[in-house]
Structure 1
Amino acid sequence: MDILLNVLEQDRNDAEIISYALDTFYNIMSNEPTDEDEVSPANSDLGCQFTEIYIKHPENVSLLLSFLEEYDFHVRWPTVKLLTVLLSNKQKELQEIILVVPMGVSRLMDLLSDSREIIRNDALLLLNQLTKGHGNIQKIVAFENAFERIIDIISEEGATDGGIVVEDCLLLLQNLLRNNTSNQNFFKEGSFIQRLTPFFQLHDESGSSRQGGWSAQKVTNMHLMLQLVRTLVTPSNPQNQTVACQKVMNSCGLLQDLCSILMATGVPADVLTETINTVSEVIRGSQPNQEYFASVLAPSNPPR
């Protein structure tokens, strides 16, 4: 390991050798069994032991973060993968190190703007690991314009019709908002609740949801979207926070769209169940929202 570290420090100008050294570290730390490996408990332990040795000197982590400034794909991508594996092995320790590295979190956030999709997508996985259960890091990530960027990616990827990348984005949003009052407030003040609204509009006129049914990925994405709304209005949040979010959800049409899903045809039962739960939390204790709900009619003839 010392020899490899030496390579990272001394041969910075040689992208190819840096790339090989990073890949080697990744293979040493990774607990993913390769095809020919026999899966043994010792394997998974080894990656953690090597990770521990590597991060004993925080400057080794700073070194990796500095490689993110290199635009070269063969340096940046293996760095992202290596940081992700280090985080999954020793999450708490690594979070504390990255927190104190100047611009550490900012460099990781910059990866979301990388035009190469594979780097951007892997950066989402990295940020998911980084933000788990760490309120301070969640706040820094939010103030680095995370909400804007993540919602842009969800839109570009096709919202609920998108693939696994949308799922990763929604999981990251959950990480940033769950039990984090200051981030929830920031989300509401930044008008991001309004930007969620189009994601709940089912385009029924194309008939696609009726004919082709919902794909498993679409069901997953919709579940996560609904859970995101519930995160903002859950009774465990401070009451004034919940009330403020409920108000916005009514005024921007989000509540109306949720009620439309309740009345739409072809919605899978589990999505419908989650929608009912979500509507109940959006209207709980809110007179104006309950009045809107009371006025909802089923699209039958005559309406009921």
Structure 2
Amino acid sequence: MPDDRRSAMTELQSLVAESRSAQMSFGAMGFPVLLNVLKEDREDVELVRGALETLVSALTPIETSQGLKTEVQPASMNSDLLSRETDNISLLLSLLTEEDFYVRYYTIQLLTALLTNSLKRLQEAILLIPRGITVLMDMLMDREVIRNEALLLLTYLTRDAEEIQKIVVFEGAFEKLFSIIGEEGFSDGGVVVQDCLELLNNLIRNNASNQMLLKETMGFDPLISILKIRRGSAFNFTQQKTVNLLGALHTVELLLMGGPPGETGKDTSKITNQTALAQRNILDHLLLLGVESQWAPVALRCTALRCIGSLVLRNPQNLDSLASKQVGEEPHVQPALNAILAIILRTSVAQEFVAADYVFKCFCETNPNGQALLASTIAPHPSQGTATHGASSDMPFGSALLQALVSSDVNGDMEACCRASSVLTHIIKDNLQCKDRVCSLATFHCLNFTCTK
């Protein structure tokens, strides 16, 4: 009788969800029966729901205080057993086209559980199933709960799987992801924005062709929209907003890395992305996040600074742009490089010093004109003799650097001296003109600096 079968299914689901021994016994005997229900009893929606929910329970680990941690988990064994046959995966994918919401929902959960425990095998199986990935992509346009589960599923599925990444992109992933991000409120959105960005980053990581498709189909404006913040929004940095912004900055980092290491055309891809991002004025947003927003979380500031360095590295146009940028608001406006130097000299966070120092490393690398520009400003400032603390914001770059270099003698600030020395190293590296400039300063002679060419 149908009612008896449904009642038995409910009891079985409850038993498998609560008992490890039931999970262990279930696999070999239970899978053939429940898979047959999914094949032959599609009209009985309640029975199909129960079968799927039972399968999800069979693949969900049960926490226990007893037993060794190295003991084989019944849920893992069941995942392995269910994923061995491609036909089983094909059957599950076919259920995603059913009209019933709970059938689709439990199926997505079941596939996610399989991916958690049998990632490689499921990746291989889905590639063999016609329209398998297409069906999964359609779930991104489903009701919100199923859409969110589909995001997690696709994130698992696209990890280190270049072929799957290409198909997912071909199925319109970029358009769908940015549409969801926009609907959720960009960086002000919830965990769904975080999931979208994680999937996006899987698709472009070390993948030059997908990066190019993103640039040509969507452009970088939707990405930059996530990075937009208002000046003075000190109290708007919730934990989730910070995570979302970090995800978007990681996307920028991946684009600035280009293709995989050693691949022909990697540098071309990187330069193309540098140029395209700069054309969309991303430098302004990175400076606001990394330099001007000292009330922002330190991880956010550091990541933005690293992005600035990578954006300008060996890119003449972007180097010139950074050299001419001003930050702050009237009447407290100063050159961006001066502000970054101030971070180096004043921050109490080591990782922020490293990130800001990276900007100067990138700015000076194969940039003799930029090195000469910075070196030309190295001279004592009229107020320097009476200064006992950090450089003032209106002091020229080189004067602030020089004051920090002599600060160990003036006020015993050896840390500021060491940090300034790191910046000076970038300025004079492989540049005889800059070395001569530094060595010619009477101040350096007085302090017994030894310069080697």
TM-score band (shorter)? over 0.9
2:174 alignment counterpart: 147
Pick one of 24, 41, 50 that aligns with 2:54. Answer: 24
What is the CA–CA distance in structure 2 between the aligned matches of 1:31 and 1:256, rounded to whole Å?
48
Q: Deviations over 1:80-104 (max 9, x none)?
A: 0000000111000010000110000
Residue 97 of structure 2 aligns to a residue whose secondary structure is coil
How far does residue 224 in structure 1 lie from its aligned partner after superposition?
Answer: 1.1
1:7 alignment counterpart: 37
What is the CA–CA distance in structure 1 between the aligned matches of 2:114 and 2:287, rounded to whole Å?
44
Question: Where in structure 1 are there 5+ consecutive unaligned residues?
Answer: none
TM-score by length of 2: 0.63
What is the CA–CA distance in structure 1 between the aligned matches of 2:284 and 2:327, rounded to whole Å?
13
What is the CA–CA distance in structure 2 between the aligned matches of 1:110 and 1:31, rounded to whole Å?
29
Q: Deviations over 1:142-181 (max 9, x none)?
A: 1100011001111111111111111111110111110112
- Corresponding position: 1:190 with 2:209: no
How far does residue 43 in structure 1 lie from its aligned partner after superposition?
Answer: 7.4
- Corresponding position: 1:293 with 2:316: no
- Corresponding position: 1:137 with 2:177: no
- Corresponding position: 1:234 with 2:263: no
How far does residue 297 in structure 1 lie from its aligned partner after superposition?
Answer: 1.1
Compared CA separation, residues 277 and 32, structure 1 to 2 (3 A) = farther
1:158 alignment counterpart: 185
What is the CA–CA distance in structure 1 between the aligned matches of 2:237 and 2:66, rounded to whole Å?
36
What is the CA–CA distance in structure 1 between the aligned matches of 2:332 and 2:278, rounded to whole Å?
26
Residue 106 of structure 1 aligns to a residue whose secondary structure is helix
What is the CA–CA distance in structure 1 between the aligned matches of 2:41 and 2:70, rounded to whole Å?
33
* Percent of aligned pairs with the same amino acid: 36
- Give 1:28-67 correspondences, 5 Å limit: 28-31=58-61, 33=63, 37-38=64-65, 40=67, 41=69, 45-67=73-95
The number of aligned residues is 296
Q: Deviations over 1:50-69 (max 9, x none)?
A: 11211222111100000001
How far does residue 303 in structure 1 lie from its aligned partner after superposition?
Answer: 2.1
Pick one of 283, 293, 314 that aligns with 1:255. Answer: 283
Contact 2:208 2:258 in 1 (8 A): no
Compared CA separation, residues 11 and 249, structure 1 to 2 (3 A) = same
TM-score by length of 1: 0.92
Residue 25 of structure 1 aligns to a residue whose secondary structure is helix
How far does residue 265 in structure 1 lie from its aligned partner after superposition?
Answer: 5.1
Higher RCO structure (Cα 8 Å, ≥6 apart): 1
2:449 alignment counterpart: none
How far does residue 271 in structure 1 lie from its aligned partner after superposition?
Answer: 0.8
How far does residue 220 in structure 1 lie from its aligned partner after superposition?
Answer: 1.1
Residue identity in the other structure for 1:26: V
Pick one of 202, 208, 230 that aligns with 1:181. Answer: 208
What is the CA–CA distance in structure 1 between the aligned matches of 2:306 and 2:61, rounded to whole Å?
38
Contact 1:147 1:192 in 2 (8 A): no
1:92 alignment counterpart: 120
Contact 2:206 2:257 in 1 (8 A): no
What is the CA–CA distance in structure 2 between the aligned matches of 1:112 and 1:220, rounded to whole Å?
22
Residue identity in the other structure for 2:157: L
1:272 alignment counterpart: 301
Compared CA separation, residues 125 and 302, structure 1 to 2 (3 A) = closer
Residue 171 of structure 1 aligns to a residue whose secondary structure is helix
How far does residue 106 in structure 1 lie from its aligned partner after superposition?
Answer: 0.3
Residue identity in the other structure for 1:263: E
What is the CA–CA distance in structure 1 between the aligned matches of 2:313 and 2:72, rounded to whole Å?
46
Q: Deviations over 1:88-138 (max 9, x none)?
A: 110000100001100000000000001x21100010000011101100000
What is the CA–CA distance in structure 2 between the aligned matches of 1:243 and 1:133, rounded to whole Å?
24
Residue identity in the other structure for 2:74: L
Compared CA separation, residues 64 and 302, structure 1 to 2 (3 A) = closer
Compared CA separation, residues 153 and 39, structure 1 to 2 (3 A) = farther
1:69 alignment counterpart: 97
What is the CA–CA distance in structure 1 between the aligned matches of 2:101 and 2:72, rounded to whole Å?
28
Compared CA separation, residues 42 and 260, structure 1 to 2 (3 A) = closer
What is the CA–CA distance in structure 2 between the aligned matches of 1:32 and 1:183, rounded to whole Å?
39
Contact 1:26 1:82 in 2 (8 A): yes
Q: Deviations over 1:219-258 (max 9, x none)?
A: 1111111011000011665000011111111111222221
What is the CA–CA distance in structure 1 between the aligned matches of 2:257 and 2:114, rounded to whole Å?
33
What is the CA–CA distance in structure 2 between the aligned matches of 1:294 and 1:44, rounded to whole Å?
59
What is the CA–CA distance in structure 2 between the aligned matches of 1:147 and 1:274, rounded to whole Å?
23
Compared CA separation, residues 38 and 4, structure 1 to 2 (3 A) = farther
What is the CA–CA distance in structure 1 between the aligned matches of 2:213 and 2:236, rounded to whole Å?
36
How far does residue 192 in structure 1 lie from its aligned partner after superposition?
Answer: 3.1
Contact 1:22 1:78 in 2 (8 A): yes
How far does residue 39 in structure 1 lie from its aligned partner after superposition?
Answer: 6.4
Question: Where in structure 2 are there 5+ consecutive unaligned residues?
Answer: 1-30, 261-265, 335-453
2:239 alignment counterpart: 216
Stretch deviating more after TM superposition (282-291 or 184-193): 184-193
What is the CA–CA distance in structure 2 between the aligned matches of 1:222 and 1:123, rounded to whole Å?
22
2:138 alignment counterpart: 110
Pick one of 160, 180, 196 that aligns with 1:169. Answer: 196
Residue 223 of structure 1 aligns to a residue whose secondary structure is helix
Compared CA separation, residues 168 and 20, structure 1 to 2 (3 A) = same
Contact 1:31 1:44 in 2 (8 A): no
Contact 1:124 1:172 in 2 (8 A): yes
